[in-house]
Chain A
Amino acid sequence: MPKYGMVIDLQKCVGCGACALACKTENNTQDRTKGQTFNWADFIMKEEGKFPNVNFTPRPVLCNHCTDAPCVKACPVTPKAMFKTLDGITMHNDERCIGCQRCQKACPYSTKDTEKDRAAYSVISFNARGGTTHPFHKDAKELIPGCTSSGVEVSKMAGDTPPYRNRYKHPEYEDVRRSGITEKCIFCEHRVKKGELPYCVVSCPSGARIFGDLSDPNSEPSKALKAHKAVQLKNSKGELLKAGEKGTQPNVYYIRNFKGDLKKMA
Chain B
Amino acid sequence: MFKDKLIGKALASADLQITIDRSRCMRMRFNNNECPVCTSNCHSGAITIGDDIVIDADKCSLCMVCVSECPADCFDLKGGEFFGILARLRKMRDSVTWPVLGCKTDAGNEAHEKTTCLGALSDEHLIALNVFMDRPVQLNLTACAQCKNSFVIDTLKDRIAGIKETTGIDVSEKAVLIENKADLRFDEVSYDRRGFFSAIKNLTLLGASELFEKEEVDVIQAYSQKGMPLKRSILNKTIKTVMDKDVAARVLKEYAFTIKADATCDNCFSCVGMCPTGALKSRSDESGAGLLFNPSMCIGCALCRDFCLNNSIFMMQGYSGEHYFDHYICNKDSCMVDTPENADCEDAIDVVCCHGQKAVL
Per the 8 Å Cβ criterion, residues 70-117 of A in contact with B are 76-79, 81, 94-102, 105, 112
User: Inside 8 A of A178's CB, which chain B residues have their CB?
Assistant: 222, 224
| B223, A98: Cβ atoms closer than 8 Å | yes
Is B151 located at the chain interface by the 8 A CB criterion?
Answer: no
The answer to whether A129 and B272 touch (CB under 8 A), given A95-B221, A95-B222, is yes
| A78, B27: Cβ atoms closer than 8 Å | yes
State the majority secondary structure of interface residues on A. Answer: loop
| A100, B222: Cβ atoms closer than 8 Å | no
**CB < 8 Å: which of B221, B223, B268, B309 contacts A77?**
B223
User: Inside 8 A of A129's CB, which chain B residues have their CB?
Assistant: 272-273, 282
Q: How far is the CA of A77 from the CA of B32 in the complex (A)?
A: 9
| A79, B51: Cβ atoms closer than 8 Å | yes
**CB < 8 Å: which of A95, A96, A101, A180 contacts B268?**
A101
Is B241 located at the chain interface by the 8 A CB criterion?
Answer: no
Is A185 located at the chain interface by the 8 A CB criterion?
Answer: no
Q: Which residue of B lies closest to A78 (CB)?
A: B28
Q: How far is the CA of A101 from the CA of B274 in the complex (A)?
A: 10
A128 to chain B, nearest CB (A): 9
Is A181 located at the chain interface by the 8 A CB criterion?
Answer: yes
| B270, A100: Cβ atoms closer than 8 Å | yes
User: Inside 8 A of B29's CB, which chain A residues have their CB?
Assistant: 76-78, 98
The answer to whether A76 and B224 touch (CB under 8 A), given A101-B268, A101-B269, A112-B268, is no
| A180, B273: Cβ atoms closer than 8 Å | yes
Is B307 located at the chain interface by the 8 A CB criterion?
Answer: yes
A171 to chain B, nearest CB (A): 13
Is B30 located at the chain interface by the 8 A CB criterion?
Answer: yes
A125 to chain B, nearest CB (A): 15
Q: How far is the CA of A180 from the CA of B307 in the complex (A)?
A: 18
Per the 8 Å Cβ criterion, residues 163-186 of B in contact with A are none
The interface on chain A, measured as residues whose beta carbon lies within 8 A of the other chain's beta carbons, has a size of 20
Q: How far is the CA of A81 from the CA of B295 in the complex (A)?
A: 29
Q: How far is the CA of A105 from the CA of B32 in the complex (A)?
A: 18
Q: Which residue of A lies closest to B29 (CB)?
A: A77
How does the 8 Å CB contact mask read for B1-45 relative to A, with 1 for contact and 0 for none?
000000000000000000000010001111110000000000000
| A105, B268: Cβ atoms closer than 8 Å | yes
How does the 8 Å CB contact mask read for B115-129 relative to A, with 1 for contact and 0 for none?
000000000000000
Per the 8 Å Cβ criterion, residues 206-260 of B in contact with A are 221-224
| A100, B273: Cβ atoms closer than 8 Å | yes
- Residue of A78, A97, A129 with most partner-chain B CB within 10 A: A78
**CB < 8 Å: which of A76, A97, A101, A105 contacts B31?**
A76
| B30, A76: Cβ atoms closer than 8 Å | yes
Q: How far is the CA of A76 from the CA of B25 in the complex (A)?
A: 12
The answer to whether A77 and B30 touch (CB under 8 A), given A95-B221, A101-B269, is yes
| B270, A77: Cβ atoms closer than 8 Å | no
User: Inside 8 A of A112's CB, which chain B residues have their CB?
Assistant: 268
A98 to chain B, nearest CB (A): 5
Q: How far is the CA of A120 from the CA of B28 in the complex (A)?
A: 34
| A95, B273: Cβ atoms closer than 8 Å | no
| A100, B28: Cβ atoms closer than 8 Å | no
| B224, A98: Cβ atoms closer than 8 Å | yes
Q: How far is the CA of A101 from the CA of B271 in the complex (A)?
A: 10
**CB < 8 Å: which of B51, B52, B223 contacts A95?**
B223
The answer to whether A76 and B307 touch (CB under 8 A), given A101-B270, A102-B270, is yes
A225 to chain B, nearest CB (A): 35
Q: Which residue of A lies closest to B25 (CB)?
A: A78
| A96, B270: Cβ atoms closer than 8 Å | no
User: Inside 8 A of B268's CB, which chain A residues have their CB?
Assistant: 101, 105, 112
User: Inside 8 A of B31's CB, which chain A residues have their CB?
Assistant: 76-78
B203 to chain A, nearest CB (A): 38
How does the 8 Å CB contact mask read for B51-81 relative to A, with 1 for contact and 0 for none?
1100000000000000000000000000000
Per the 8 Å Cβ criterion, residues 114-168 of A in contact with B are 129
User: Inside 8 A of B221's CB, which chain A residues have their CB?
Assistant: 95
| B32, A76: Cβ atoms closer than 8 Å | yes
Q: How far is the CA of A102 from the CA of B223 in the complex (A)?
A: 15
Q: How far is the CA of A94 from the CA of B222 in the complex (A)?
A: 8
How does the 8 Å CB contact mask read for A49-79 relative to B, with 1 for contact and 0 for none?
0000000000000000000000000001111
Q: Which residue of B lies closest to A101 (CB)?
A: B270
User: Inside 8 A of A78's CB, which chain B residues have their CB?
Assistant: 27-29, 31, 51-52
User: Inside 8 A of A77's CB, which chain B residues have their CB?
Assistant: 28-31, 223
| B273, A101: Cβ atoms closer than 8 Å | yes
Q: How far is the CA of A100 from the CA of B268 in the complex (A)?
A: 9
- Residue of B51, B52, B269, B271 with most partner-chain A CB within 10 A: B269
The answer to whether A76 and B269 touch (CB under 8 A), given A81-B223, A98-B224, is no
User: Inside 8 A of B224's CB, which chain A residues have their CB?
Assistant: 97-99, 178, 180-181
User: Inside 8 A of B307's CB, which chain A residues have their CB?
Assistant: 76, 100
User: Inside 8 A of A101's CB, which chain B residues have their CB?
Assistant: 268-270, 273
User: Inside 8 A of B270's CB, which chain A residues have their CB?
Assistant: 100-102, 105
What would 4 more interface pairs be, CB under 8 Å, given A178-B224, A180-B273? A76-B31, A96-B222, A97-B224, A105-B270
Q: When A and B form their complex, which 7 residue pairs have the shortest distance between CB atoms, in order from nearest?
A: A100-B273, A99-B273, A100-B270, A180-B224, A98-B273, A98-B223, A76-B30
Complex A-B: 24 CB contacts under 8 Å: A76-B29, A76-B31, A76-B274, A77-B28, A77-B29, A77-B30, A77-B31, A95-B221, A95-B222, A95-B223, A96-B23, A96-B222, A97-B223, A97-B224, A98-B274, A99-B224, A99-B273, A100-B271, A100-B272, A101-B269, A105-B309, A129-B282, A178-B222, A180-B224
